[in-house]
Structure 1
């Protein structure tokens, strides 16, 4: 039905193209591109072995708008699916505008030299995409992505009015390493060490990183400490659902992870400003990324489950209600299907579904859009059919602070 160019050959890109190949009725031609074509070729071999589908590969520096534009002109895709680093979002959007192709990503832009991720830079492209008759879909991962679709599903079907929304992200997996991150270490550590931030009564409330925690009993995982954090979907949900009084994001971390992170911060290894070493500048966090395990290498040893979802309070037919919409994903099952662990799987599958929404015309528009701006039903239906089934529960009480 449509040709797609996927840029980015990490774990998420691997999952996405595996799942695209399993849906050849939607994705008629798939090209996977990355700075290192050897990574693309290895994924292509796995896709062929697992699905029987041959995908094309290419080499591209996504920081180079000219090179990316030339690749798009050569491949002539209907959609560019950006699964590269969020630093590269704007360059790839520029290339899409230059070549007249729809755009999609899973994480919002952030500059390399500042740990600040917000939608403002990409929302500023709205008029340009609208005038070009093109669509840009932002954040079709799990969080952001599915959690925003869960919110729109809750608003459409479960509650007449949403008062509070809490997004809970629990990774109960164990990879056997002393310290490793389940997705790009540089991005992960920048997120975790940023100040906490949540939306309350029409304004942002900030606090120190990891300063608020509570324990929650996650189905299929058990009790875990979860910490209040800032995450980008809070910004778009606050914009598009102004009636919600409070929106928060929580993520679980084990004590060992936090102790390692504290030590790394204390000795300066999480810095993103350059330091001189043997006559040349290096970025400590980028060096740390180089010595930590590659996240895509953790799939074979990771066991356990993830549990990610939304808890919303509000009213339905005049009655106060608390509802919980969530997904449980098994690391070992994800690895058996795609060769990647569940953190990559829970982002790569939604990337495939977001691309499918565009290519099938289920979601259409001209300009730059966030996930919660579209009908959740076809997306939710595909989640159930393609490996991320969701559940709905009514809770007796809302989440405490």
Structure 2
């Protein structure tokens, strides 16, 4: 069977990681392509591949992915069989539409967002992607949603616990701690606009069989995790809660993200001043601006943080449940090193953890293991093949269970 051509859409820090991993695993695919609104950014990623000694450079393309006609036309032109969408979450639905029309498999790493709306009614997937389930199946393509790390790998961790530890799951607590330091006074680890939008609205969690609402930074607790030690994380709204709550209806599903006091203080000031609003305002000179976009413009580009980043991340699922009536718990997790990520692919650890998994998903589609010809979230797919492949690709999974702390 002919190997499938693959296209990356986007050219930020996560796209750079995905491109480097595709280059490392190029024999799994046919032609490699990368597209971005600004072609020069895609070319810069290709240049970074050559610096690492990869002789099979990608072909770059200029693409306005907000227009599904453009996406469809490019996919047909290059005969793409698989698309990895690691651009802004604002383009998910137009890229998905292009894939449906062109018959290409679709992979993304976050829920679609409408630029004019923040924190819509849960479950967020039902507002956008899930509405296209029938169209995806009718087109006979595979669409894997949220195949980054969180969402993505953490969804697979929950499925792994379901498959290998419990017949009844009581709770899933996803914990994301970044204990690294980039040396800047203030910066976000990925697109500031998307980052801040996650935390300006209502915090939704799934508890007691219903959606619970909290304010950001209202509920915090200390976690003692491998490598990073004791860190405070706060109950946060996040993508994976919205799909996991559909599969694990009788379980509590919560997402916790670590924040330092400095981040919270800066965030609070920006929010109280109205600088995190997505709604346009007019300056005294009559110029219309969106405050959140202005903040994004003055903050460091997340990709620029990589050279100076040090420390580790620890992201995992604490899953509690029972097997044959006997209660227990398991912590499934990964630790990533910012400096090692930079040395390997030129990006920091946050981008590394987000950029490797969609390539693993693409490999599993190309091999047929995950080519399910319908729309799915990661927890609907077999977890072990994914986690084992990620281990080969640089994101090993470890487990703390009754036997201790060990690799899967």
Counterpart for residue 277 of structure 2: 271
1:164: how far off? 0.8
1:257 and 2:260 aligned:
no
- Equivalent residue, structure 2, for 1:206: 213
Alpha-carbon distance in structure 1 between the residues aligned to 2:227 and 2:378: 27
In structure 1, the partner of 2:230 is 223
| Aligned-partner SS, 1:25 | helix
- Match of 2:80, SS state, is coil
Gaps of 5+ in 1: 397-401
In structure 1, what is the equivalent of residue 36 of structure 2?
Answer: 34
1:138 equivalent to 2:145? Answer: yes
Contact 2:111–2:239 (CA under 8 A) maintained in structure 1: yes
Give the Cα–Cα distance (whole angstroms) in 2 for the partners of residues 264 and 270 of structure 1.
6
Contact 1:18 1:47 in 2 (8 A): yes
Give the Cα separation in 1 of the matches to 2:259 and 2:402. Answer: 24
Shift in Å at residue 253 of structure 1?
A: 0.4
> 2 CA distance for matches of 1:377 and 1:94?
30
Q: Aligned partners of 1:194, 1:306: CA distance in 2, in Å? A: 25
**For 2:27, what is the secondary structure of its paired residue?**
coil
Identify the residue that residue 316 of structure 2 maps to in structure 1: 309
Instruction: Measure, in 2, the Cα distance between the counterparts of 1:194 and 1:252.
Output: 17
CA shift for structure 1 position 29: 1.6
Secondary structure of 2:175 counterpart: strand
- CA deviation string 1:176-221 (max 9, x = no partner): 1111000110000110222221111210000111100011122211
Secondary structure of the 1:124 match is helix
* Alpha-carbon distance in 2 for matches of 1:188, 1:54: 31
Residue 75 of structure 1: aligned partner: 78
Provide the aligned length of Structure 1 versus Structure 2: 395
Task: State the 1:395 CA deviation.
Answer: 7.0
Q: Per the alignment, in what secondary structure is the counterpart of residue 78 of structure 1?
A: strand
Contact 2:282–2:289 under 8 Å retained in 1: yes
The reply on whether 1:98 has 2:89 as its aligned counterpart is no
User: Partner residue of 2:15?
Assistant: 13
| 2:27 alignment partner in structure 1 | 25
In structure 2, list runs of 5 or more residues that go unmatched: 404-408
Q: What SS does the aligned partner of 1:271 have?
A: coil
Secondary structure class of the residue paired with 2:140: coil
CA contact (8 A) 1:125 1:367 kept: no
Distance 2:141 2:398 in 1: 34
1:115 and 2:118 are equivalent in the alignment: yes
CA contact (8 A) 1:168 1:249 kept: yes
Q: Which residue of 1 aligns with 2:406?
A: none
Q: What is the aligned partner in structure 1 of residue 202 from structure 2?
A: 195
8 Å CA contact 2:208–2:250 kept in 1: the answer is no
CA contact 1:35–1:59 (8 Å) conserved in 2: yes
In the alignment, which residue of structure 2 is the partner of 1:399?
none
Is this contact kept in 2: 1:16–1:348, CA < 8 A? Answer: yes
- Asked if 1 retains the 8 angstrom alpha-carbon contact of 2:6 and 2:33, the reply is yes
What is the CA deviation profile of residues 148-183 of structure 1, one whole-angstrom value per residue up to 9, with x for unaligned ones? 000001100122221111000000110011110001
What is the correspondence of 1:230-241 to structure 2 with a 5 Å cutoff? 230-241=237-248
Given that 1:104 and 1:355 are in contact with CA atoms closer than 8 Å, whether structure 2 keeps it comes out as yes
SS in 2 for 1:299: helix
SS of the equivalent of 1:364 reads: coil
| Aligned-partner Cα distance in 2 for 1:374–1:243 | 20
Tell me the CA shift for residue 331 of structure 1: 0.2
Q: What's the secondary structure of 1:223's corresponding residue? A: strand
1: CA distance between counterparts of 2:264 and 2:337? 23
Alignment of 1:38-77 (within 5 A): 38-50=40-52, 51-77=54-80
CA distance in 2, matches of 1:94, 1:319: 46
Q: Distance in 2 between matches of 1:358 and 1:263?
A: 45
Report the more deviating stretch, 186-195 or 143-152: 186-195
TM-score w.r.t. length of structure 2:
0.94
Q: How far did residue 78 of structure 1 move?
A: 0.5
CA RMSD of aligned residues (A): 1.3
Q: CA deviation at 1:378?
A: 0.9
